[in-house]
Amino acid sequence: MSLTQDLLARNTVQLNSKIPLGSIEDKWDNYKADMKLVNPGNKRKFKVIVVGTGLAGASAAATLAELGYQVDSFTFHDSPRRAHSIAAQGGINAAKNYQGDGDSVHRLFYDTVKGGDFRSRESNVHRLAQVSVNIIDQMVAQGVPFAREYGGLLDNRSFGGAQVSRTFYARGQTGQQLLLGAYQQLARQIGLGGVRLFNRTEFLDVVTVDGRAAGIVVRDLVTGEIESHAAHAVVLATGGYGNVFFLSTNAMSCNVTAAWRAHRKGALFANPCYTQIHPTCIPQSDEFQSKLTLMSESLRNDGRVWVPKNPNETRPAHEIAEADRDYYLERLYPSYGNLAARDVSSRAAKRLVDKGQGVGPLKNGVYLDFNEVITRLGRDVVQERYGNLFEMYERIAGENPYDMPMRIYPASHYTMGGLWVDYELQTNIPGLYAAGEANFSDHGANRLGASALMQGLADGYFVLPYTIGNELAPMLGKTIPGVDHPEFKKAEQAARDQYNGYLNIKGTRSPDWFHRELGKIIWDRCGMERDEQGLKQALSDLPALHEEFKTDLNVTGDGMSLNQTLEKAGRVDDFFQLGMLMCRDALSRQESCGTHFRTEHQTDEGEAKRDDENYCHVSAWEWGGDAMSPNLNVEPLEFEAIHLATRSYK
Partner 1 sequence: MSNSIKNLTLKIWRQLGPTSKGTFETYNVEEISDEASFLEMLDYLNERLIGEGETAIVFDHDCREGICGTCSLMINGQAHGPQRGGATCQLHMRSFSDGDNIVIEPFRAEAFPIIRDLMVDRSKFDRVIESGGFITAPTGGAPDANLIAIPKPVSDAAMDSAQCIGCGACVAACPNGAANLFTGAKVAHLNRLPQGQPERFKRVEAMVETMDEYFGSCTNHGECEGACPKEISVDVIALLNKDYRKAKFASRKDLAR
Residue from the set 40, 191, 477, 486 that interacts with partner 1 by CB under 8 A: 191
Using rule CB under 8 A, residue 248 touches partner 1: no
Whose Cβ is closer to partner 1: residue 211's or residue 361's?
361
Q: In whole angstroms, what separates CA 500 from the centre of its chain?
A: 31
Using rule CB under 8 A, residue 40 touches partner 1: no
455, 128 Cβ separation under 8 angstroms? yes
For 38, how many CA atoms within 13 A lie in the half-sphere containing its CB? 24
Q: Which of 294, 88, 52 is nearest to 178 (CA)?
A: 88
Q: Which amino acid is at 539?
A: L
Q: Which stretch binds partner 1 (CB under 8 A): 233-241, 250-258, 374-382, 421-429?
A: 250-258
Using rule CB under 8 A, residue 152 touches partner 1: yes
Whose Cβ is closer to partner 1: residue 469's or residue 594's?
469
Using rule CB under 8 A, residue 63 touches partner 1: yes
Size of the site for partner 1 (CB under 8 A): 83
Q: Which stretch binds partner 1 (CB under 8 A): 190-198, 263-271, 329-337, 607-615?
A: 190-198
Using rule CB under 8 A, residue 252 touches partner 1: yes
Q: Which amino acid is at 256?
A: V
Question: Which burial class, exposed, middle or buried, applies to 142 when counting CB atoms under 10 A from its CB (0-12, 13-18, 19+)?
Answer: middle
Which of the 8 DSSP states describes residue 161?
A: T
Using rule CB under 8 A, residue 279 touches partner 1: no
Q: Is 647 a catalytic residue?
A: no
Q: How far is CA 53 from CA 11, 59, 84, 87, 510, in A?
A: 34, 8, 9, 14, 29
Using rule CB under 8 A, residue 59 touches partner 1: yes
Q: In whole angstroms, what separates CA 277 from the centre of its chain?
A: 11
Residue from the set 99, 142, 163, 371 that interacts with partner 1 by CB under 8 A: 142
Convert residues 208-247 into a mask of x (bound to partner 1 by CB under 8 A) and - (unbound): --------------x-------------------------
Q: What is the dihedral of CA 445, 449, 453, 455, to 10 degrees?
A: -30
Residue from the set 537, 554, 590, 602 that interacts with partner 1 by CB under 8 A: 554
Convert residues 355-384 into a mask of x (bound to partner 1 by CB under 8 A) and - (unbound): ------x-----------------------
187, 368 Cβ separation under 8 angstroms? no
Q: Provide the minimum distance between the beta carbon of 293 and partner 1 in the complex, in angstroms, as a whole number.
A: 5
Round to the nearest angstrom and report the end-to-end CA distance of the chain.
34
Whose Cβ is closer to partner 1: residue 271's or residue 455's?
455
Q: Tell me how crowded residue 648 is: count the other CB atoms within 10 A of its CB.
A: 12
Using rule CB under 8 A, residue 143 touches partner 1: yes
Question: Which burial class, exposed, middle or buried, applies to 484 when counting CB atoms under 10 A from its CB (0-12, 13-18, 19+)?
Answer: exposed
Q: Which amino acid is at 314?
A: T
Per DSSP, the residues of 391-418 read HHHHHHHS--TTTS-EEEEEEEEEE--E
Using rule CB under 8 A, residue 151 touches partner 1: yes
Q: Which segments of 527-563 does DSSP mark as H helices, in order?
A: 532-552
Q: Tell me how crowded residue 309 is: count the other CB atoms within 10 A of its CB.
A: 13
Q: How many residues does the chain have?
A: 650
Q: Provide the minimum distance between the beta carbon of 608 and partner 1 in the complex, in angstroms, as a whole number.
A: 31
Whose Cβ is closer to partner 1: residue 114's or residue 413's?
413
- C-alpha–C-alpha distance, residues 620 and 429, integer Å: 13
Using rule CB under 8 A, residue 537 touches partner 1: no
Q: Provide the minimum distance between the beta carbon of 262 and partner 1 in the complex, in angstroms, as a whole number.
A: 23
Q: How does strand 631-636 pair with strand 617-622?
A: antiparallel
Q: 538 pairs with which residues across the strands?
A: none
- C-alpha–C-alpha distance, residues 413 and 454, integer Å: 16
User: Which H or E run includes 139?
Assistant: helix 122-141
Site for partner 1 in 192-211 (CB under 8 A): 197, 199
Question: Which burial class, exposed, middle or buried, applies to 58 when counting CB atoms under 10 A from its CB (0-12, 13-18, 19+)?
Answer: buried
Whose Cβ is closer to partner 1: residue 457's or residue 637's?
457
* Burial readout 597-612 (b: 16 or more C-beta within 10 A, e: otherwise): bbeebeeeeebbbbbb
For 603, how many CA atoms within 13 A lie in the half-sphere containing its CB? 10
Residue from the set 55, 392, 518, 572 that interacts with partner 1 by CB under 8 A: 392
Using rule CB under 8 A, residue 140 touches partner 1: yes
Site for partner 1 in 79-138 (CB under 8 A): 79-82, 84, 86-87, 96, 98, 134, 136-138
Q: Provide the minimum distance between the beta carbon of 492 and partner 1 in the complex, in angstroms, as a whole number.
A: 24
Site for partner 1 in 449-468 (CB under 8 A): 461-462, 465
Using rule CB under 8 A, residue 414 touches partner 1: no
Using rule CB under 8 A, residue 289 touches partner 1: yes
Q: Tell me how crowded residue 396 is: count the other CB atoms within 10 A of its CB.
A: 13
Residue from the set 51, 95, 105, 180 that interacts with partner 1 by CB under 8 A: 180
User: Which H or E run includes 234?
Assistant: strand 233-236
Whose Cβ is closer to partner 1: residue 295's or residue 348's?
295
Site for partner 1 in 301-360 (CB under 8 A): none
Q: Which stretch binds partner 1 (CB under 8 A): 41-49, 57-65, 574-582, 597-605?
A: 57-65
Whose Cβ is closer to partner 1: residue 2's or residue 565's?
565
Whose Cβ is closer to partner 1: residue 353's or residue 392's?
392
The answer for residues whose C-beta is within 8 angstroms of residue 449's C-beta and 6 or more apart is 90, 91, 159, 160, 161, 167, 297, 298, 342
Using rule CB under 8 A, residue 170 touches partner 1: yes
Q: Provide the minimum distance between the beta carbon of 388 and partner 1 in the complex, in angstroms, as a whole number.
A: 9
- C-alpha–C-alpha distance, residues 451 and 443, integer Å: 8
Whose Cβ is closer to partner 1: residue 42's or residue 134's?
134
Q: Which stretch binds partner 1 (CB under 8 A): 40-48, 148-156, 303-311, 594-602?
A: 148-156
- C-alpha–C-alpha distance, residues 426 and 227, integer Å: 25
Q: Which amino acid is at 250?
A: N
Using rule CB under 8 A, residue 190 touches partner 1: yes
- C-alpha–C-alpha distance, residues 563 and 510, integer Å: 13
Whose Cβ is closer to partner 1: residue 82's or residue 119's?
82
Q: Provide the minimum distance between the beta carbon of 179 and partner 1 in the complex, in angstroms, as a whole number.
A: 9
Site for partner 1 in 484-513 (CB under 8 A): 508, 510, 512-513
Using rule CB under 8 A, residue 411 touches partner 1: no
Using rule CB under 8 A, residue 183 touches partner 1: yes
Whose Cβ is closer to partner 1: residue 289's or residue 631's?
289
Residue from the set 33, 37, 562, 645 that interacts with partner 1 by CB under 8 A: 562
Out of 121, 127, 157, 342, the active site residue is 342
Q: Give catalytic residue positions.
A: 342
